[in-house]
Every structure is written in C-alpha cells, then in structure tokens.
Amino acid sequence: MMTSSLADTLNRRRFELLAALSARFRDIDLAEEALSEACLRAVSQPQPPSDWAAWLYRTAVHAAIDQLRRRQHARRHAEQEQQLRAESADMADSTIPDRRLALIFACGHPAIDATSRAALMLSVVCGLTAAQIATAFLIPASTIAQRLTRAKRKLSGAGIIFEIPGQKFWPERLNAVLSTLEVAYIRSTPGVPASEAGPIHANQIIELADLVSTLLPEESDAHAVSATLNFSEARRRAKADCHGNMVPLDQQAPEDWDQGLIAVARRKLERAERISRTPAAKAPTARHPSPRLIKAQLQRCWCERLSLHAPAPWEAVLQLYDQLVAIEDSPFTRLNRAVALGEVEGAAAALSELNQLSADRMSQFAPYHAVHAAMLAKTGETSQAIAAYDRAITLTEDQTERSFLEKQRSELDR
C-alpha cells in the first residue's frame, strides 16, 4: 500500500526524478520503466526511508541497469554499468541531479518532428496520457500515441544529449518549451480533475518558467509566459469561496489576490514589452506583438482591477482578443473572445461568434458547451440552454466546476 509520504513525494518530485534518470541513461522509456519499478518496490518496503526521493532515485538507477542487462547489451553497457554503480554507491542521500530544464530542452530538439514536441513534453513533464493530450489539442488519441512513440524513439536513437544546449540553440526550441510550461501550469491548478492533472505542482512550473526567462533575458516570450503564470497564480486563493464553490474571474474580490505575485508579474510583463519594442526584436514580418505578450496583457487587465465594485475590464479584454484573433485564430481564442463579446455587445453577438466555430472540433470540449449555454440562457432560449448545460456537465469531471454548472442549470428550471 502506498503511504501518504510516498504519494506526496511522487506528486511533488516525479518530474525531477524522471528528468534525472532520463539524462543519466539518455532514454525516456527506460527512465519511465525504471521509475515505475522503483515505485512498485517502494510499496513493499517494511520501513519507509528517511528520504523517499533519494531512495526512489537510487532504486530506479539499479532497476535501469538491470533492464539494460536483460536487453542483452551487456558488452555495450558494461563500462556504463560499472560507472553508474560506482556513482550510485557514493551518492549522498539527497543527491538528485536537477535535469528538469535539460529534459525539456531535449524534448524540444529540432530532430523531433515539430508536431510531436509539445505532446512529448506534456507526456514527460506532466505525466499526461495520450488521451488527455489529445483533448488539449482536439485531435484523436491514436494520433497522439503514434507521435509519442516516434518522438521517444527519435530521442533515444538520435544521440540527443540531455543537457541544456548552448545559447545559440535556445531560440529554435523555445516555442515548444514555453508551450509545455503553459499547458503544464493549467494541468497543475485547482479545477483540473485528479484523473487528468499531472503530478506536478504549480510552483514548480512557475520556477521553471522563471528560470527560462533568466536563461533567455532578451526573449520577450519567455518573460511574457512567466508573467502570465505569476498573474494567474496570484489569483489562486480567490478562485473558490470558503465553501469550495467556484468563483468566476469577474466575481473575484481583488482584495483576495496576492499583490506580491502581481508585482512580480507586472515587472516581467514590462520587461517583455520593452524587449518587443526594440528594433532587434522585430523581424521584418512581425507587424503585431506576439500572442504570448497579448495573453500576458490580458492577465494584467484583470489584475489591475482594484475592487469588486470597479467595472470589469471587458472592453479592454475584447480589444486584446481582437488583436489575438488577428494573429492566432484558434478555436480556443475565438471561444474566449465570444465571452468578452457577450459582455460588451450582448449574448446575440456572442452566439453568432460561437456558431462560426466547428461543432465537430468543439463537441467534446466542456467550456464550449458551458459558454454556449450561458449565452442561450441570456437570449431566452431556455430549453436549448438546458441541453447545452447538460452536455457541459457530462463532459466535466471536476466536481467544483460541475457543481457550478449544475447551479447555473438549476436556475433555468425555476
């Protein structure tokens, strides 16, 4: 049986352990198998060790070496095996090499197909399954599974070094790295079902984002992502009331937000904006700010609200979404724009926007049905709104979100 301390260690440090093992053996599949074997052995331990993380790491190293032997490559791996066992024997209890960023950059290597990089990172960093990643990208799970298989094979067979690359190689991998941090943060926050949330904490993702922005001080997007995550984290404690009920963003009391984190985020965004305005940062074809910069500015819009009694910044939000749609016309962006449009121009305008989205692509996306239901309710289409709420509730696993939707639906029955 898994103890609470073991479960907590896996929840907090799985990615750190996997990164250290992957860098050591240069094989993600082997690292995952070895860590799984270590977890199985941990369950049968009669006495818990003083440091579960160090115990898991040492045990996984030995499990990986045993696996290499079983693959009948003993001659090729003999020298490595001897070295690893010597290192393992001398290892201090708390010594786990920090290879998290190295693994993220390795997953973003240009030798890996561009369409597979983000999926690989989400699998490795967040521990997400192919089905969970497929939901995020609105594509079949079988497609994601094939991409993961190819990417892991390429990563293990192409001689890719699991180290932070030289500075000249950072920009070509940056987009995949930042995309992973963005999605990983979303999966780590409250409101994500336990069955889908990755075993990684929000503060770990923010720490990595801050580190990326430090490594790349002249990359506007790196600072913008760090700003976005800090803005969002600042509002964490206001996302639910004292009874655990979900509180929508426009109903949150700014007094409950973490002003210290907001100040950090504001400085990072200002840095990103300064960089984006410099001539060197503007490519000949770059006529707009980057999508990530606009997303950070959207977060700032809300965090500049001083009181719940102050008007919600819907008009400014809509203007920013107009800019975002012009350069990143995705279903998710359109959906968020529809919410702002409904607040500024009315529900009928929002419904017109929603009707332009592909029903097939959005059919399994709960937020789409929730927004659709809210706008239908505002236009008096009660029966259609109830049906849309029912669909959203069916697709929502998180109990807090489901309870919120059920409350909205029940008000239509009165």
3-state SS track over 182-233 = HHHHHHHCCCCCCCCCCCCCHHHHHHHHHHHHHHCCCCHHHHHHHHHHHHHH
149-178 exposure pattern, b = at least 16 Cβ within 10 A, e = fewer: eebbebbbeeebebebbeeeebeebbebbb
**Selection from 272, 105, 103, 99 nearest residue 173 by Cα:** 105
Given a cut of 80, whether residue 148 has pLDDT beyond it is: yes
d(CA 267, CA 270): 5
Query: Can you give the pLDDT at residue 83?
Result: 54
d(CA 403, CA 362): 22
Angle of helix 114-126 relative to helix 100-107, nearest 10 degrees? 150
* Whether the Cβ atoms of residue 274 and residue 218 lie closer than 8 Å to each other: no
Residues of the chain with CATH 1.25.40.10: 329-414
DSSP state letter for 249: G
335-360 exposure pattern, b = at least 16 Cβ within 10 A, e = fewer: bbbbbbbbbeeebeebbebbeebeee
d(CA 16, CA 203): 13
**Selection from 351, 358, 368 nearest residue 329 by Cα:** 358
Give the CA dihedral 216, 183, 173, 294, nearest 10 degrees. -60
Residue 305 carries which side chain, given as an amino acid letter?
R
Question: What does the pLDDT look like over 51-83, one tens digit per residue?
Answer: 999 999 999 999 999 888 877 654 555 555 555
Given a cut of 60, whether residue 285 has pLDDT beyond it is: no
Indicate the class that CATH gives domain 329-414.
mainly alpha
Model pTM? 0.74
Question: What does the pLDDT look like over 232-261, one tens digit per residue?
Answer: 999 999 999 999 899 999 999 999 999 999
> Could you tell me the CA-to-CA distances from 191 to 39, 80, 188, 399, 404 in Å, in that order?
27, 44, 9, 8, 11
Query: Can you give the pLDDT at residue 199?
Result: 39
**Selection from 128, 105, 103 nearest residue 19 by Cα:** 103
d(CA 105, CA 176): 8
Question: Which residues lie across from 246 on neighbouring strands?
Answer: 240
Among residues of the chain, what percentage have pLDDT more than 70?
86
Query: Can you give the pLDDT at residue 198?
Result: 43
Question: What does the pLDDT look like over 309-344, one tens digit per residue?
Answer: 999 999 999 999 999 999 998 999 999 999 999 999
